[in-house]
Amino acid sequence: MSYFIFYKKLGFLNIEGLFLHSQRIKMFESKNPLRTPISDLGEFGLIEHLTKNVKINQATTVKGIGDDAAVISSEKDMLQVVSTDLLVEGVHFDLSYMPLKHLGYKAVMVNLSDIYAMNAEAKQITVSIAVSNRFPVEALEELYDGIQTATKIYNVDLVGGDTTSSTSGLVISITALGTVTKEKIVYRNGAKENDLLVVTGDLGAAYLGLQVLEREKQVFEANPNAQPELDNYTYLVERQLKPEARKDIPKLLEDLEVVPTSMIDISDGLSSEIIHLCKSSEMGCNLYEDKIPLDPQVISTCEEFELDSTTIALSGGEDYELLFTISTEDFPKIKANPNLTVIGHITNKKEGMHLITRADTKIPLIARGWNSMKEE
């Protein structure tokens, strides 16, 4: 297993347990005497070893790890929300530049983001992994360190899962569970004509972070002694390697007394997610190019890479921001909030889905976001 090492240079790796030193990476090499084969522990011993420090914080968790199934109590007048995502090595992540702690953390974020996109509160997760024999116990300890760091920060319980062998590398499947009241749950299909299209945060940084990492990987493969210069891309690389789910948004909207009419998380690119909302709601939309929020580092890096920043925001993916619609009556409640940007509005289905360019040209909105099923 070859690893591309540069993490000591990145200032954002300041959460305890998320700093992956090159010395830790080297410990995973097959000839190192500190490498512990998974077979030494066996399946049940491995699970016990990796989860021995798991603590329960949610009142709804009656029984977590250690039995045939987890037991979760039902809260009165609450709906249960469940989401599952599968991450496959070589498809969703590249371990040549993705530290295992970051991978564990990011895998949790991917799933929690779906829960928050339902305007719900995340409560529990289960984690299942399939792993090849090239990974020792120490590697999985790094992975679970990232997972448990995420559960602590986001106050969710790890209540179960499974481990098995794999012939093709590492596979991670996480299921997230959450709760929300019937009055506050938000689906994709509730957008109405004239509703405002709103997005959290900024877009495109995660994709550009990936491009920076891929470029530096190629440099490293050509010259292993090369030292990557990442000072100008810290925010972009952080958004790729350690994204954060928008746990704050459901609470923010509650405080503002705003219930979105529809909502979705931005995992596959802004254009794809807008189209999902419009198709589910049987509506059209106008998205305004000059309203799409972009970080200055995104703009400057797009210029360096000779990329169009709007295209990156529309198609990049992995931002894990939230996209939602609100009624026009709620605009005064959100207009001054720095976390939220109005980027367009919903139209009649017959009008179609369009991007209004800076030159005031109306062009069809096309889904060009990332597709894991696309043939290379």
346-369 pLDDT, tens digit per residue, is: 999 999 999 999 999 999 999 875
Dihedrals φ, ψ of 182, to 5°?
-60, -30
Q: Cβ-count burial of 361 within 10 angstroms (0-12 exposed, 13-18 middle, 19+ buried)?
A: exposed
Domain positions in the chain are 7-181, 196-364
- For residue 5, pLDDT beyond 60: no
CA dihedral over 294, 299, 305, 306, signed as positive or negative:
positive
Give the model's pLDDT for residue 374.
Answer: 53
| 7-181 and 196-364 have identical folds | no
The set of residues, in sequence order, having a beta carbon less than 8 Å from that of 375 and lying 6+ positions away, is: none
The predicted model scores a pTM of: 0.86
Alpha-carbon span 177 to 122, nearest angstrom: 6
Segment 23-36, tens digit of pLDDT? 344 444 445 556 77
> Please, are residues 334 and 198 in contact by the beta-carbon 8 Å criterion?
yes
- For residue 179, pLDDT beyond 60: yes
Give the model's pLDDT for residue 40.
Answer: 60
Q: Does domain 7-181 have CATH number 3.30.750.24?
A: no
Q: How many CB atoms lie within 10 A of CB 263?
A: 27
Mean pLDDT check: name the lowest of 25-34, 157-166, 267-276. 25-34
Segment 85-144, tens digit of pLDDT? 999 998 899 988 899 999 999 999 999 999 999 999 999 999 999 988 888 888 888 999
CA dihedral over 149, 79, 273, 176, signed as positive or negative:
positive
> Please, are residues 150 and 109 in contact by the beta-carbon 8 Å criterion?
yes
Q: Pick from 322, 297, 305: which is nearest to 205 by CA?
A: 297
Task: Provide the Cα torsion 174, 175, 180, 186; round to 10°.
Answer: 80
Q: Does domain 196-364 have CATH number 1.10.10.60?
A: no
Query: How confident is the prediction for the chain on average, in pLDDT?
Result: 85
- For residue 298, pLDDT beyond 50: yes
Collapsing DSSP to helix, strand or coil, 125 comes out as strand
Strands 284-288 and 171-181 turn out to be unpaired
